[in-house]
């Protein structure tokens, strides 16, 4: 049987879905199964999925656009500022791999073994002549863009990372971007070269795919944390004040979709929270990007429109097929979460048919989340072996 549900344009949040979806009925063979009282489960999952402390984001509930940006700014504003020298010690808590080495996104190879690793303190820069000499403190949002050694931006851990000194120097204060003809490539595949992304043609630095989402969410944090405080910032070819320019915003939103939030980011978010007393909202709640910027700058191609979405068979025992309208777009994000809040699947996809293997799922009820422009679309998925 094919289960279909209409998602109204106004139903742009999980909360709306949780409040309205109180009963689900479906038939399988000759029997009719009724599921009642599911609202409490979905409401609980809203909190779990957002990964937040109770009440932390209450002030932002129900808002969109600049109103949401202002509300998030007010929530994470006035964080505890650390010193520049303190960063060396704080990196122990924010950027340490399971083996105790420095987590350097400019040298790490997530799918393999990096050519070199660093030991905290012992391998601090110092002087360097080439890769693998030492690590230093990288302003992923270059300090020249906000006026230099100005607090709190200069030491804000949410955009400061330990990175190889030589690669950091190569990156300089160039924008992030994509390049099809790199003039230089690091040992892990980071690139420097002319921008190939539509809207900009200057020199850019391209991190590896596995960390593009990390940097995108870093820039979204900067755009919210310093919203309204950036009028005197020099800016750059990538940002006006703290706000990404149109070409950069589109690219960063694509990076955010293609490289979803990782456990590394969640752990780092919690670690910085204990130090600074504020959080990165875009790690806690993946829908904020769409709710703030999804309808700007002609980014309708980022959307997964309401229309009619099908999941079949539903209940599923082996394979569930998700069918989107023909007006699908380049990328969208699909997540499946069980009643206990465990994320069973988190991936990006394109096209209008996606197959999901549910053979390893326990029999029960799940939430299927499809996120795109200005909304998170929600569907029930039932597994019955």
pLDDT-based confidence at residue 232 (cuts at 50, 70, 90): very high
More confident residue, 60 or 310: 60
Distances 245 to 249, 254, 273 between C-alpha atoms, Å: 6, 14, 28
The pLDDT of residue 308: 60
Do 254 and 350 meet the contact criterion of CB atoms below 8 Å apart? no
- Rounded mean pLDDT of 235-254? 95
In the 8-state DSSP scheme, what is residue 80?
P
Q: Which of 302, 161, 179 is nearest to 219 (CA)?
A: 161
The pLDDT of residue 25: 32
Given a cut of 80, whether residue 228 has pLDDT beyond it is: yes
In the 8-state DSSP scheme, what is residue 89?
H
Least confident of 152-161, 228-237, 287-296: 287-296
Report the CATH fold assignment for 3-51+304-383: Immunoglobulin-like (2.60.40)
Given a cut of 70, whether residue 50 has pLDDT beyond it is: no
Q: What are phi and psi of 167, to 5 degrees?
A: -65, -40
Beta carbons within 8 Å of 66's beta carbon, 6+ residues apart: 292
In the 8-state DSSP scheme, what is residue 262?
-
pLDDT-based confidence at residue 340 (cuts at 50, 70, 90): low
In angstroms, how far is the first alpha carbon of the chain from the final one? 15
Q: Which of 163, 12, 174 is nearest to 95 (CA)?
A: 163
Q: How many helices and strands, by DSSP H and E, does the chain display?
A: 10, 17
Percent of residues, the chain, with pLDDT higher than 70: 78
- Rounded mean pLDDT of 126-150? 97
Given a cut of 60, whether residue 187 has pLDDT beyond it is: yes
- Rounded mean pLDDT of 23-51? 37
Do 380 and 21 meet the contact criterion of CB atoms below 8 Å apart? yes
The most confident of the ranges 174-183, 252-261, 327-336, 340-349 is 174-183
Instruction: Please list the helix, strand and coil fractions of the chain in percent, rounded to the nearest 5, in that order.
Output: 30, 25, 45
pLDDT-based confidence at residue 116 (cuts at 50, 70, 90): very high
Given a cut of 70, whether residue 37 has pLDDT beyond it is: no
Residues of the chain with CATH 2.60.40.3080: 3-51+304-383
Q: For 279-289, write each residue's pLDDT tens digit.
A: 999 999 888 88
pTM for the model: 0.71
Least confident of 131-145, 225-239, 297-311: 297-311
Q: Which of 234, 184, 236 is nearest to 206 (CA)?
A: 184
- Rounded mean pLDDT of 295-313? 55
The pLDDT of residue 373: 53
Least confident of 111-125, 143-157, 362-376: 362-376
């Amino acid at each position: 049987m094919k289960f279909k549900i209409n998602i109204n344009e106004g139903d742009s949040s999980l909360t709306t879905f949780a409040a309205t979806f109180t009963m689900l009925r479906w038939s399988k063979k000759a029997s009719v199964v009724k599921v009642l009282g599911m609202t409490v489960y979905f409401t609980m999952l809203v909190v779990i999925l957002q990964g937040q402390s109770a009440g932390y984001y209450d002030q932002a509930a129900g808002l969109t656009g600049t109103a949401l940006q202002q509300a998030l700014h007010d929530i994470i504003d006035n964080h505890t500022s650390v010193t520049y020298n303190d960063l060396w010690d704080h990196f122990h808590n924010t950027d340490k791999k399971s083996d105790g080495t420095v987590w350097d996104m400019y040298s790490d190879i997530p799918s393999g073994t990096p050519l070199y690793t660093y030991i905290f303190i012992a391998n601090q820069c110092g002087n360097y002549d080439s890769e693998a000499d030492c690590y230093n403190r990288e302003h992923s949002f270059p300090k020249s863009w906000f006026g230099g050694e100005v607090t709190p931006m200069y030491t804000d851990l949410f955009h400061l990372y330990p990175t190889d000194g030589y690669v950091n120097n190569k990156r300089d204060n160039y924008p992030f971007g994509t390049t099809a003809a790199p003039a230089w490539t690091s040992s892990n595949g980071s690139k420097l070269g002319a921008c190939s992304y539509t809207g900009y043609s200057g020199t850019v630095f391209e991190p590896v795919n596995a960390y593009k989402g990390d940097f995108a969410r870093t820039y979204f944090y900067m755009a919210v944390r310093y919203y309204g405080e950036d009028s005197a910032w020099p800016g750059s070819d990538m940002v006006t004040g703290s706000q990404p320019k149109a070409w950069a915003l589109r690219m960063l939103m694509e990076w955010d979709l293609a490289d979803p939030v990782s456990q590394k980011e969640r752990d780092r978010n919690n670690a910085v929270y204990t130090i600074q007393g504020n959080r990165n909202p875009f790690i806690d709640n993946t829908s904020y990007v769409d709710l703030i910027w999804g309808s700007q700058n002609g980014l309708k191609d980022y959307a997964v429109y309401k229309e009619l979405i099908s999941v079949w068979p539903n209940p599923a025992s082996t394979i569930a097929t998700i069918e989107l309208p023909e007006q699908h777009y380049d990328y969208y994000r699909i997540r499946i979460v069980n009643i206990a809040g465990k994320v069973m699947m988190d991936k990006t996809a394109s096209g209008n048919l996606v197959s999901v293997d549910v053979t390893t799922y326990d029999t029960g009820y799940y939430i299927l989340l499809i996120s795109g422009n200005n909304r998170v679309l929600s569907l029930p998925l039932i597994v019955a072996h």
